Amino acid sequence: MIEGFWEPMTAHGRKPFPGWAPRRSVAGIATAALFAMALWGCTGAQGGGNRPRAEEGTLDLRAWSFATGPADLDGTWEFCWGSLYSPADFHGAAEPGARGTIKVPSTWISARNRGGSLPAYGHATYRLTVLLPEEAPRLSLRVPASDTAYRLFVNGRELFANGRVGRDSASSQPLHYAPVYLGLPQAASLEILMQMSNHDFPRPGLRDSLLLGDARALRWESEKSLALDLFVVGAIFIMAIYHLGLFYLRQSDRSSLYFALFCLSTLARLLVTGEGAAYRFTPVTWEIGSKLEYLTLAGWAVALLFLRSFFPREISLKVLVPVNAVIAALSGVVIAAPVAVFSRMLLVFDIVSILMIAYVLFALGLALARRREYAAVCTAGIVVFFAAVVNDMLLGYRLVDSVYVMPYGLFVFFFVQSYLLSSRFSHAFTMVEDLSHTLEERVVERTRELELERNKLEKINRLMDEEIDMARRLQEQLIPMKGPADFISTLYHPMRKVGGDFFDFIQFRDTDRIGIVICDVSGHGVSAAFITSMVKTILLQAGGRKNDPAELIKYMNAILYGNTAGSFCSMFYGIYNRRERSILYVNAGHNYPLIIDDGGIRVLKGEQGTILGVFDNGQIEAMRKGYTAAEERLPAGGKLLLYTDGLTEARHMDGGEVFFMDEAMNEVLLAHRSMPCGEFTGALFRRLVEFRGSDSFEDDVAIVCLDIV
């Protein structure tokens, strides 16, 4: 039974740790003592008396009490290089030959084969027999995180496989870099067999101890370790967000930004190491996790920038530029290349990290010698962290027999770093407080002056509001709020209190004829409303030109040209003959009217002339864009709809790019075509408001609807 817990506990954490700043060495000593006690506690927890050791592939635990804790399976295991044996192979008539032994934990590179070391890439079989006490509790096996693909058998039964085990790179690849907890069967002894293959990573084999112990105790230890990992991850993430907020509020000081970025780069490694939270809660694979871990080298770049923000004379740009170039190149290799390529550069990554550690310590030594502020405690925190980095590197190469202490180094560093930044901001805040006392009287005086100005502005605003209300009332007098006959309906909805859309009707002696004008002035508000009043005045002065749409439009353009302060307007003017059901019209750059009947929707698409107020009539004629009247008979029982672009180009309140005319307009026009024009106009506007999600629009809306009877 597989419990399914994973824990990457890699040995090659690498990151710089910039600064901190207490002014008393007591804080640094206390921090170092805290780290030493934590380290002692870790080693003490795993140290231990006369533990049984495996000898020649057999581990005798018959005298071991699992109540005292789990037993590690360290010692010499049986080892078969270049072969992938199954449990049945060891119980047949002919047992495997060429069987040797290997020390666990270690890499198989350390094993000897015909007088030389084994290669890093290949495959092998590990085997261990464990003799158990008669009354052993329900046991579980903790298999450490491994970069090497493996299959694990216990008493002939396969319990777990980390990826694919094969004899070449095409058939072999690990899946997860995380520890596994496996429930074991009750038995007097355990035969543990592991097939392992490696074609990707330079440190293959069982590099860490397997643990055998009470199932509940191992699970409890795993949950505690996972909780600690998640606590550290959550704390660092909160610190990153907090310092990003500080940088947002005070962008002149980039130290908070560099620290936040370093926190985020550290999170990636923490999530794919330790108890492997990323593997437990996300679909992260071994390859992705390996890339994330190696990419934490980029933390050096922001760490050095952070240190330079405190010690600009000690951290030289001449060093930073090439260092960042090297880090960028190595990061590019990690991103672009498969694990089998960049993992072989592990030594390069470690050398770069060691060189950076040496340079940072040199720079901090200069800062101490020059008595820079914050240098003492900053150095103490970084030294503790660097010690943890070096320890984990050496442990990864199995050059020392210790434990992984990176979380403790991170804790010390971030504690020191938080103190440093807090000291800086506290100092800045104290300066602000001092300045605030000096500025307080000036603020009071300035506030009094601003109140006087505010009162003046409020009075001016009231006067402006009154004038705009007056303009609105005047515009309401200019625009007819109802049609001149029952078969004509209107709707006007300005974007603001006053708008730039306009329509009007012209009465003739022949009561069967009605002139219909609709126009749209560029812009909105008072300036556009002023031009609509000019249009109304020109209509009143047009005289007999009203009988000829082309002449009226030309007359309108002649007066507007040069008198609109850069504005312009589109206009449609038509003379509807009710008796003949025809319309004589000119379109000066306005939206095409729509004809709606049982046959569908079509446009009244005569020749469209140039908008008004941009060119004089002579220029328009020269461009062959003059105003020519057209006449068309209209279908009985249908409708003629005139409108401005505030109707067709209305959009959703959420800022989408879909217009009313594209999504809903045709549907509502056809659905309500049989209604009288007044009800039809109301239904159209209600659908427009529903589509928009509000009765507030981005443009003025004007509608004239005519029932063709």
Coil/strand/helix, residue 581: coil
The number of beta carbons lying within 10 Å of the beta carbon of residue 440 is 10
pLDDT at residue 14 tops 60: no
Closest CA to 247 of 327, 303, 306, 300: 306
Predicted confidence (pLDDT) per residue in 122-147, tens digit: 999 999 999 999 888 889 998 888 87
Predicted model pTM: 0.50
User: What is the token pair recorded at 619?
Assistant: 């220029």
**596 Cα distance to chain centroid:** 49
Coil/strand/helix, residue 428: helix
Task: Give the Cα separation of 559 and 553 in Å (integer).
Answer: 10
Predicted confidence (pLDDT) per residue in 187-215, tens digit: 999 999 999 999 888 878 888 889 999 88
What are residue 139's phi and psi, to 5 degrees? -105, 155
DSSP 275: T
Which range among 59-63, 192-196, 385-389, 485-489 shows the weakest confidence by mean pLDDT? Answer: 385-389
pLDDT at 470: 64
Identity of residue 470:
M
pLDDT at 407: 66
User: What is the token pair recorded at 624?
Assistant: 């062959």
Query: By the 8 A CB rule, do 117 and 111 touch?
Result: yes
Query: By the 8 A CB rule, do 571 and 519 touch?
Result: yes
Task: Give the Cα separation of 497 and 159 in Å (integer).
Answer: 77
Inter-CA distances, 162 with 178, 199, 545, Å:
9, 14, 92
Q: β-strands 149-154, 75-81: how paired?
A: unpaired
Task: Give the Cα separation of 533 and 473 in Å (integer).
Answer: 12
Task: Give the Cα separation of 201 and 146 in Å (integer).
Answer: 10
Query: By the 8 A CB rule, do 379 and 19 touch?
Result: no
Query: By the 8 A CB rule, do 519 and 700 touch?
Result: no
pLDDT at residue 58 tops 80: yes
Task: Give the Cα separation of 170 and 204 in Å (integer).
Answer: 17
pLDDT at 494: 83
Closest CA to 201 of 53, 91, 349: 349
User: What is the token pair recorded at 583?
Assistant: 């319309």
Inter-CA distances, 413 with 185, 261, 266, 359, 369, Å:
44, 15, 12, 18, 22
Helices (H), 273-370: 277-281, 286-295, 299-310, 317-336, 339-342, 346-369
pLDDT at residue 47 tops 50: no
Task: Give the Cα separation of 61 and 212 in Å (integer).
Answer: 10
Q: What is the mean pLDDT of the chain?
A: 81
Q: β-strands 112-113, 58-60: how paired?
A: unpaired
CA-derived radius of gyration, the chain: 42
Closest CA to 217 of 277, 134, 154, 140: 140
Q: Which residue has the tokens 């694919």?
A: 164
Per-residue pLDDT band at 401 (split at 50, 70, 90)? low
Arithmetic mean of pLDDT, 602-621: 89
Identity of residue 397:
Y
Query: By the 8 A CB rule, do 57 and 128 touch?
Result: yes
The number of beta carbons lying within 10 Å of the beta carbon of residue 163 is 19
Task: Give the Cα separation of 520 and 654 in Å (integer).
Answer: 25
Task: Give the Cα separation of 415 and 405 in Å (integer).
Answer: 16
Task: Give the Cα separation of 510 and 553 in Å (integer).
Answer: 21
pLDDT at residue 498 tops 70: no
Highest mean pLDDT among 84-88, 292-296, 301-305: 84-88
Closest CA to 16 of 575, 476, 389: 389
Task: Give the Cα separation of 500 and 536 in Å (integer).
Answer: 12
DSSP 593: P
pLDDT at 98: 67
Burial pattern 303-328, b for ≥16 Cβ within 10 A else e, equals bbbbbbbbbeebbeeeebeebbebbe
Burial pattern 224-236, b for ≥16 Cβ within 10 A else e, equals ebbeebbebbeeb
**Would you mind telling me the total number of residues written for the chain in this entry?**
709
Per-residue pLDDT band at 615 (split at 50, 70, 90)? very high
Predicted confidence (pLDDT) per residue in 577-607, tens digit: 999 999 999 999 999 999 999 989 999 988 8
Identity of residue 74:
D
